Amino acid sequence: MIWYLFRHGTTFFSKFGIPYGPFVKSASILPEGRQQAQKIGQQLKTFQIDAFFTSPYKRCRETTDIISQIINQKFLPDPRLREQEIIPKQESFSDLTERLNSFIIEVKDRHFQSVAVCSHGWPLGILIALLRTGQATKADLKNPPTGEIIKIQI
């Protein structure tokens, strides 16, 4: 199975390293984020992909809406791909890892040959670690670069 993972397009918050705070669900991508989405769409267009998933947060939806126009496929929102919940309640690292692992298990059980996933920095860091090694640590909470596809074959 092949996983094509990518982060949403650049936002004001991600560009300047500012916490999203109350805008965690509603932040929009910048014009450069639109260009990144177009680049990813052109790349995804060259692959045979069975299923497409995205975080339901606005910046991921905007990114995948642009990609969908290029590849003529819709992304299904999955709440497990959302950013880590730190406001108003704390979501523990193990909670984050557990929900992302449940996503991986469900996708694997559906026997797709390949999937594309749009999410956020920390969730992608955890997904990458879980797919590559079967486990994740807090050291995996890294922000992958925007505008790039991370391909993992398992």
Q: Quick one: pLDDT at residue 86? A: 66
Q: Quick one: pLDDT at residue 90? A: 82
User: What are the structural domains of the chain?
Assistant: 2-153 (3.40.50.1240)
Mean pLDDT (whole number) for 137-141:
95
Phi then psi for residue 15, to 5 deg, are -65, -40
Among 46, 81, 19, 28, residue whose Cα is nearest residue 151: 46
**H/E stretch holding 151:** strand 149-153
Alpha carbons 82 and 68: distance in angstroms, whole number? 19
33-90 pLDDT, tens per residue? Answer: 999 999 999 999 999 999 999 999 999 999 999 999 999 999 999 999 999 876 666 8
Is the omega angle on the peptide bond into residue 79 within 30 degrees of 0, that is, cis? Answer: no
Q: Quick one: pLDDT at residue 79? A: 97
10-26 pLDDT, tens per residue? Answer: 999 999 999 898 899 99
Q: Supply the DSSP string of 93-140, one letter for each residue.
A: HHHHHHHHHHHHHHHHHTT-SEEEEEE-HHHHHHHHHHHHHS---GGG
76-129 pLDDT, tens per residue? Answer: 999 999 998 766 668 899 999 999 999 999 999 999 999 999 999 999 999 999
Among 144, 24, 27, residue whose Cα is nearest residue 91: 24
Mean pLDDT (whole number) for 29-34:
98
Q: How confident is the model at residue 143 (pLDDT cuts 50, 70, 90)?
A: confident
Q: Is 50 helix (H, G, I), strand (E, B) or coil?
A: coil
Question: CB within 8 A of 75, min separation 6: which ones?
Answer: 52, 53, 54, 61, 64, 67, 68, 116, 118
